[in-house]
Amino acid sequence: MGWLQHIKKTWLDYHWSVFGLFGVFAIGLGCVGFEKYFLSIGQTYTYWDLLYRSIQLFVMEGGAVHGMVPWELQLARFLAPLTAAYIAVSALALVFRDQFNLIRIRFLKGHVVICGLGRKGMLLAQKYRQQQKQVVIIELDEINEMLAQCRNIGCIVLIGNAADPDLLKKAMCHKASYLFTLSGNDGVNAKIAVHARELVKHRRDRVLSCIVHVVEPQLCNLLKEQEFLWGSQQALRLEFFNIYDSGARIWLKKHPPFRFDDSPEPKRPHLILVGAGKMGESLLVQLAQKWRLLNSGTEKFPVTVIDKKAMEIQELFGLLYPLLEEICELNYLQMDVGSPEFQRGGFLFDQQKKCLASIIYVCLDNDTRALFTAMSMFKHVRNEKIKIVVRTTREAGISSLLTGSSNQGQTTLVSFALLDQACQTDIIFGGSHETIARAIHEEYVSNRLKSGESPESNPSITDWKNLPEHLKESNRQQADHISEKLSSIQCGIAPLSDWGEQLIRFSDDEALQMARMEHKRWCLERSAKGWKLGKKNARKKTTHLLVPWEQLSEKDKKHNVDMARKMPVFMAKAGLKIFRLNKAKNAIE
């Protein structure tokens, strides 16, 4: 379908020009045709007469003649009114576009609603339209230059405040599959999510995934607990998304300062981080977490942080992330990247003129300034075997000049386009629910393989990316239900701030209680989807497990209990921990 979309886009971009040329061509043919006709009947004429009669053809007048009609005039008599008709219909479509869209929206189901048309919203709209999904855009700024692009690719646009519940209802949010709140204001995004929850509270046929963009990385981390508190309402699944947090995960995967496996490093890495804003902060925190897991606190990871507010950042990081000082050997340098001190590059070398850095991350908000900074350092270390990674907004522009190529033993200079990398649907949906759902599936596959099953006998034993969507959704619903299970045993959820913290262990009674609850939830889910009791057959929707807990085999009971015991591990993978409410209460008292 790619070539069809390309043709459609090209046509939308140039159709007015094409029909303008058709109009000029029709007038030219008309003039030639009328001239031949007047000469054939001996009638005198002026060139103004020819032009006037040719223009009349657009309203289907002046073309009625007797006798032989020259082929030029014959063609003009059809081409001119057809051109006029197309332009008239297109103009009417533009005038009544919003009214047509309101009618169109009423028939949508399972579509995507995007609130806020910034660069993130535009990228998501393009990606969903490439997947042939219907997209509704809600945008407050009616002169937003990206609105025309969205309409051209087939999106429906509603102008207004997305925090207005009536407008959300008009966008058929209660029938959508996905809702993205991408306003630059965290409060507005939260208000949209609250209104959406009210709209879908009576929905039973499907879950609305509400992805809320949170500008502040720390706030996004603190709000993760709310994802599961809202998860008890089955009609809405809440996911918080921070572009810097997501971008940092991809960045570290593509350009790691050290290996994230057990392979030995040739030397202890040394990171130089230029710019400790939101992107730099997310990179540093995630790096510290990974280094702690690899080294168990035996060796510190050296990091030099360069920022014009370095001392203020040092104090802030000490308050927000007290473990950083235990994991990283932090050296804060307060200097502006445009200062002579920075341009001399003395911080890159030790007293013996040996390069200190093994990798350099440049995380400045301004693309031009970031590239200038990277190039300034590059001239000092061009003969060293290190990599300089520059954070840019998009792949287009001046950042596209960086190819990432270098000779053997020399510095590599590459760019990391934050929006292009982080605004991928699979990345945005990599939040807490999705992470836990994947962990649950991986554990299920591991257990089934150990018990002697195979992909041939059980199609569910496969990688997550190959798992059918209905089974993925089943795992997500199991993750949604975690807060209810934990509440039943007096436990709660909080961000995992201490990365070396000992995970909670459940008693036998607690694991059994949660296993029973999960089996009951699973039976209700399967029954709602039309499954019946019988021999296991996915095609016929029959399973032998659709029975009360007491009638399960000991093997199946054990599987459910084992999965309940692994819950703290699943939560830790999403950056969350489970704690006992009674202990927290006693600590307060």
Residue 405's pLDDT is 47
Residue 430's pLDDT is 65
> What average pLDDT does this structure show over 341-350?
92
Residue 148's pLDDT is 86
Residue 6's pLDDT is 66
In this predicted structure, the answer to whether residue 84 has a pLDDT above a threshold of 80 is yes
List, for residues 563-581, the tens digit of each pLDDT value: 999 999 888 888 788 999 8
Decide which of 515 and 409 is more confident.
515
List, for residues 274-285, the tens digit of each pLDDT value: 999 999 999 999
In this structure, is the dihedral angle defined by the CA atoms of residues 337, 342, 348 and 350, taken in order, positive or negative?
A: negative
Residue 113's pLDDT is 96
Query: What is the percent of the chain with per-residue pLDDT over 90, rounded to a whole number?
Result: 30
Which of 156-165, 428-437, 440-449, 572-581 is most confident? Answer: 156-165
In this predicted structure, the answer to whether residue 372 has a pLDDT above a threshold of 50 is yes
In this predicted structure, the answer to whether residue 315 has a pLDDT above a threshold of 80 is yes
343 band by pLDDT with thresholds 50, 70 and 90: very high
Residues 362/388, Cβ–Cβ less than 8 Å? yes
List, for residues 496-505, the tens digit of each pLDDT value: 766 667 889 9
> What average pLDDT does this structure show over 14-35?
86
302 band by pLDDT with thresholds 50, 70 and 90: very high
In this predicted structure, the answer to whether residue 50 has a pLDDT above a threshold of 50 is yes
Q: How far apart are CA 350 and CA 149, in angstroms?
A: 52
Residue 340's pLDDT is 94
List, for residues 453-512, the tens digit of each pLDDT value: 888 778 888 888 888 888 888 888 888 888 889 989 999 888 776 666 788 999 999 999
List, for residues 377-434, the tens digit of each pLDDT value: 999 998 888 899 999 987 765 555 565 544 445 778 899 999 888 887 767 766 777 8
Which of 52-66, 346-360, 507-521 is most confident? Answer: 507-521
- Distances in Å between the Cα of 32 and the Cα atoms of 18, 21, 40, 66, 336 are 21, 17, 12, 17, 71
Residue 207's pLDDT is 81
Decide which of 64 and 563 is more confident.
563
In this predicted structure, the answer to whether residue 266 has a pLDDT above a threshold of 70 is no
For 473-494, b/e burial (b = at least 16 CB within 10 A) is: bbbbbbbbbbbebbeebebbbe
Helix (H, G, I), strand (E, B) or coil at 587: helix
Tokens 């370095």 sit on residue:
310
Residue 523's pLDDT is 93
> What average pLDDT does this structure show over 323-327?
87
435 band by pLDDT with thresholds 50, 70 and 90: confident
Tokens at 357, concatenated: 């850095």
> What average pLDDT does this structure show over 314-325?
89
- Distances in Å between the Cα of 469 and the Cα atoms of 4, 465, 555 are 27, 9, 27
Strands 576-580, 491-495: pairing is: antiparallel
Give the predicted TM-score (pTM) of the model.
0.69
List, for residues 128-154, the tens digit of each pLDDT value: 988 889 999 999 998 898 998 888 888
In this predicted structure, the answer to whether residue 4 has a pLDDT above a threshold of 80 is no
